[in-house]
Amino acid sequence: MVKKDASRAERSHHVSGPELLEGLRVHALEQFGPLAKTVLNAWGITRCGHFGEIVFNLIEYNVFSKTENDRREDFSDIFDFDDAFVKPFLPLGRRGGRSSAQTHGTA
């Protein structure tokens, strides 16, 4: 595989690991809705660290750049995939919040 021009990376805006993960999370939810986790899992992405591996592979080929402070660990355990991709679509009572019965005093 041919590496890209390093000067391109110098013109880019830096994004931290957690910022990139948040953008990826939002994009996956917008694109795939309740199937976001299923789609990502089908692609072999089952945890935040997998995105870090993708990013650092792109850095290796000068598609992305990094600062001296960027590390693969920046992508570790930022969010749980169930919390990020499943929980938003659960009924309110199953999200860990108060159920309708609890809210209305019928529980």
**What is the spatial distance between Cα 75 and Cα 41, in angstroms, rounded to a whole number?**
17
- Sign of dihedral through CA atoms 29, 31, 32, 33? positive
CA distance 58 to 66: 10
The size of the chain, in residues, is 107
Checking phi first, is residue 77 left (phi over 0); if not, alpha (psi -120 to 50) or beta?
left
How many C-beta atoms lie closer than 10 Å to residue 78's C-beta?
19
The token pair at 27 is 């994009």
The model carries a pTM of 0.73
Tell me what pLDDT residue 5 has.
54
Query: Domain boundaries in the chain?
Result: 15-102
How far is Cα 86 from Cα 12, in angstroms, rounded to an integer? 33
Mean pLDDT, each 10-residue run in order, the chain (107 residues): 52 85 98 98 97 96 93 96 96 66 48
The predicted structure's pLDDT at residue 12: 59
CB atoms within 10 A of CB 19: 12
